[in-house]
Amino acid sequence: MELFDSESKKIVSDPLNVNNPISLQVLGICSALAVTIRLDQAIIMTFAVIFVLCSSNVVISLLRDYIPNRVRIVIMLSVIASLVSFVDEVLQAYMYNMSKQLSVFVGLIVTNCIIMGRAEAFAIKHGPSKAFLDGLGNGLGYGMIIIVVSFFRELFGSGTLTLPDGGAGYVLFQMPDWLYAAGYENIGLLVLSPGAFFILGFVIWMQREMVGLEEEE
Amino acid sequence: MNFLKNILKQSGKLFEEGKPLSWAYPVWEATDTILFSTDKQTSSGPHVRDNMDIKRVMFSVVIALIPCYLFGAYNIGYLNALATDVSRSLIDNFIFGMSYVLPVLIVTFVSGAICELSFAIIRKHEVNEGFLVTCALIPLTMPPDVPLWQVFIGTAFGIIIGKEIFGGVGTNIFNPALTARAFMYFAFPTKMSGDKIWAVGPDGYTGATALAIPANPTEYDTASNLLNQSTQFDFSLWNMFWGLIPGSIGETNKLIILIGAAFLIYIGIASWRTMLASVIGLVFTASIFNLLSGYSTNAMLTITPLEHLLIGSFLFGVVFMATEPVTSAHTEKGKWIYGFMIGVLTVLIRSINPAYPEGVMLAILIMNMFGPLIDYYVVQSNINMRIARNA
């Protein structure tokens, strides 16, 4: 059982570029739009999704020989839902502010298409170590995109960059006052959901350009 | 002229396939075809089987817009003189206004040209004159004191998102000029939302536009009374027709817009069906709201159809934006539906939604989206009718 042979590396690195769950498979868009207003929300969300994705992949992969084919969706959902409840409780206990900001979107990780998709497409057919790597890769691929989107949304929409801490967030960067005095204004559109669509569209455009994917002939 | 032509033809060889400057071919091609005529034929829409090519179509629209610019500049100077209590001659007013209009115009064209040329070079398509019209329209929809960097970003957004990502002129869904304006409307609401005054005055000079007065009345009254009570500006019907009121640069003078409309209809570019249908839609909806206004305390419902026509940018939008040949419905029956719905939606957004005093922009963008659907319906119903007739 080699953990770092070329196949395993591919499992982790593919979702980061050529098979990114958001920018190439266009899955998990709803949460990518909802939690990207601030950078700290996106970072916490990334950790939550990586945890849920890795654990659910491992659990489902361990159970794969015992899951009857007909009820596999129900079993996957109950595994994912328990993990999400766990994450939700942890956030409420240790990061109450963040938990309030993310509100319903932590619970909605259950319906994130990426998690269900990886369980169905990968974990049910592969061993636990590979399933773990696949979960890690896809979680990172998801996180990468939402962090990039939230970076631009927060920087140009609200003029700040916030990192997560136990409380209301640590302000890493703030647009200097002289810039506002010179006539600069935050782009209000980016705080609204359509703003996330535009940024996401540009990110998808850039990524597909780099990967060289053409859907149309 | 021959001298210039020779220079262009000679230098053209440098830009041919395989030559060092071939990447810049679109730039050369654009210069050549703007100065002289082209011998190439259009292969994709919008096209007309005539010696009227896209270039002439687009240039005619630009010509129809020039009076709007001239009056817009004068109006800025006039309103500024009013606000600062100085008296200036007509020419001085005009020059003062031009000092605001020209920078906006230049920034728009620079931004538009950068985007258009980069896409032309990367995507290897020709520079299309459509961007001249887009760039000529954008400043007319802006308030005079708009920050120039916002104009730059807005124009770039309009050209890239509104046009280039759909494949360039002729394949876009939304009117690029309106896309640019919509972007700025939502991105920089403090400057663009249309409820504050749109005139150049001393610092802190503020007031309400004609649409904002009935939208936020201090106490309920009919819109006509509210407008007449305004002491800051003369919002009488006659003055709103003449356009000496605050507003976007190009929208205020209705007479000039009507002359532009007549010109565009006469040379056959803009569709009179779209324009007439929008006015019918507007009058229809406004009349219904007038009848219902007794049951509500919303003063916007009491605006009469005539006032709706004269207030705000309805006429400008309908004449220059809604009739755009690419994004409007293409079938003749479709144009009636398309225009009618623009009129209906304009009044609906103006009157019912207090957040958006002006509804023309959103109405046209929404109907741009439905244009292809309307065409599909019209064509399909015609096919079905003929099948039924011959069955």
Q: What is the 3-state secondary structure (H, E, C) of B359-390?
A: CHHHHHHHHHHHHHHHHHHHHHHHHHHHHHHH
| Contact in structure between B125 and B166 (CB atoms under 8 Å) | no
Mean pLDDT score across all residues of chain A: 85
State the nearest Cα–Cα gap between B208 and chain A, in angstroms.
22
What's the CA dihedral at B40, B45, B50, B55 to 10 degrees?
Answer: -60
Residue B46: the pLDDT is 60
- Is A194 in Cβ contact with B187 (below 8 Å)? no
- How far from chain centre, in Å, is Cα B268? 18
The pLDDT of residue A217 is above 60: no
Helix (H) / strand (E) element for A171: namely strand A170-174
Q: Which of A8-12, B157-161, B192-196, B341-345 has the lowest mean pLDDT?
A: B192-196
Using pLDDT thresholds of 50, 70 and 90, give the confidence band for residue A112. Answer: confident
Q: Does A189 touch chain B (CB under 8 A)?
A: yes
Identify the closest residue of chain A to B147 by CA–CA distance. A183
Give the pLDDT band (50/70/90) at residue B201: low
CA distances (Å), origin B280, targets A100, B24, B172, B320: 50, 48, 27, 17
Question: Which comes out higher in pLDDT, residue B140 or B38?
Answer: B140
What digits encode the pLDDT tens for the residues B257-281? 999 999 999 888 888 999 999 999 9
Note the pLDDT tens digit of each residue in B73-103: 888 888 888 877 788 888 888 888 888 899 9
Smallest Cβ distance to A185: which of B183, B186, B190?
A: B190
pLDDT in tens, B134-176: 889 999 988 888 888 989 999 999 999 888 888 877 788 899 9
- Mean pLDDT to the nearest integer, B355-374: 88
pLDDT band at B206 (very low <50, low <70, confident <90, very high): low
CA B374 – CA B293 distance, rounded (Å):
32
For residue B45, the model assigns a pLDDT of 61
Task: Choose between A170 and A74: higher pLDDT.
Answer: A74
Which residue in chain B is spatially nearest to A182 when comparing CA positions?
Answer: B147
What amino acid is encoded at B136 in this protein? A
Per-residue pLDDT at B132 exceeds 90: no
- For residue A185, what is the nearest residue in chain B, using CA coordinates? B188
Q: What is the pLDDT of residue B207?
A: 67
The structure tokens 């002491």 sit at B231
Q: Is B186 close to A205, i.e. CB distance below 8 A?
A: no
Q: Does an H or E element contain A190, and which? A: none
Write out the DSSP string of B309-342: HHSTTHHHIIIIIIT-TTTS--SHHHHHHHHHHH
For residue B138, give how far its alpha carbon lies from the nearest alpha carbon of chain A (Å): 19
pLDDT of residue A54: 92
pLDDT for residue A12: 80
Give the chain B residue nearest A156 (alpha carbons). B187
Nearest CA in chain B to A198: B161
**Which of B103, B92, B97, B362 lies closest to B253, judged by CA?**
B97
Rounded to whole angstroms, how far apart are CA atoms B340 and B354?
A: 22
- Cβ-Cβ contacts under 8 Å, A183 against chain B: 147, 149
Q: Does residue A150 carry a pLDDT above 70?
A: yes
pLDDT for residue B300:
80
User: What pLDDT score does B275 carry?
Assistant: 92
Mean pLDDT within B370-382: 93
- State how far residue A144 is from chain B, nearest Cα, in angstroms: 24
Q: How confident is the model at residue B37 (pLDDT cuts 50, 70, 90)?
A: low
pLDDT over 70 (residue B193): no
| CB-nearest partner of B147 from A183, A187, A205 | A183
From chain B, the residues in CB contact with A192 under 8 A are 186
Residue B335's pLDDT is 92
Asked if the Cβ–Cβ distance from B186 to A185 is below 8 Å, we say no
Residue B108 confidence (pLDDT)? 93
Residue B203 has pLDDT above 80, yes or no: no
Residue A103: band (very low, low, confident or very high) from pLDDT cuts 50, 70, 90 = confident
pLDDT above 70: percentage of residues in chain A: 95
B13-29 pLDDT tens trace: 777 766 766 777 777 77
Q: Which residues of B touch A188 (CB under 8 A)?
A: 186-189
pLDDT (0 to 100) of residue B324: 85
Tell whether the model's pLDDT for residue B202 goes beyond 80.
no
A179 pLDDT above the threshold of 90: no
The answer on pLDDT for A51 being more than 90 is yes
Q: What is the mean pLDDT of residues A15-40?
A: 81
Mean pLDDT of A172-189: 84
Q: Determine, for residues B187 and A187 on separate chains, whether the beta-carbon distance falls below 8 Å.
A: yes
Cβ contact A188–B187 (<8 Å): yes
HSE-up of residue A56 (Cα within 13 Å, Cβ side):
35
Binned at pLDDT 50, 70 and 90, residue A100 comes out as: confident
CA dist list (Å): B245 to B308, B314, B338: 15, 15, 30
Q: Which residues from A are below 8 Å from B192, CB to CB?
A: none
Report the residue from B147, B183, B190 with minimal CB separation from A189.
Answer: B183
Residue B344 pLDDT grade (very low, low, confident, very high; cuts 50, 70, 90)? very high
Instruction: Using a CB–CB cutoff of 8 Å, tell me whether A167 touches chain B.
Output: no
Alpha-carbon gap: B194 to the closest alpha carbon of chain A (Å):
16
User: Above 0.90 for ipTM, yes or no?
Assistant: no
Q: Which of B123, B153, B188 to mutate to test the interface with A (most CBs of A within 10 A)?
A: B188
pLDDT band at B180 (very low <50, low <70, confident <90, very high): very high
Q: Does A214 touch chain B (CB under 8 A)?
A: no
Distance in Å, alpha carbon of B231 to nearest chain A alpha carbon: 31
> Which pLDDT value is given to residue B50?
59
Per-residue confidence (pLDDT) for residue B261, from 0 to 100:
92
Max mean pLDDT range (A119-128, A163-172, B275-284): B275-284
Residues of A in contact with B150 (CB under 8 A): 185
Cα B11 to its chain centre, rounded Å, is: 37
Where are chain B's structural domains?
A: 1-36, 55-209+246-252, 264-385
Q: What is the pLDDT of residue A4?
A: 65
If interface means Cβ-Cβ distance under 8 Å, which residues of chain B face chain A? 147, 149-150, 153, 161, 165, 183, 186-191
Does the structure show a pLDDT above 70 at B51? no
Site from A153, A156, A179, A185 to mutate, B interface, most B CB atoms within 10 angstroms: A185
Determine the distance in angstroms separating the CA of B149 from the nearest CA of chain A, rounded to an integer: 9
A155 touches chain B (CB under 8 A): no
Task: Give the distance from residue A173's alpha carbon to the nearest chain B alpha carbon, in angstroms.
Answer: 21
Q: Which one of B164, B181, B186 would you mutate to disrupt binding with A, by most A Cβ within 10 Å of its Cβ?
A: B186
Q: Which residues contact B315 (CB under 8 A, 6 or more apart)?
A: B251, B254, B257, B258, B261, B309
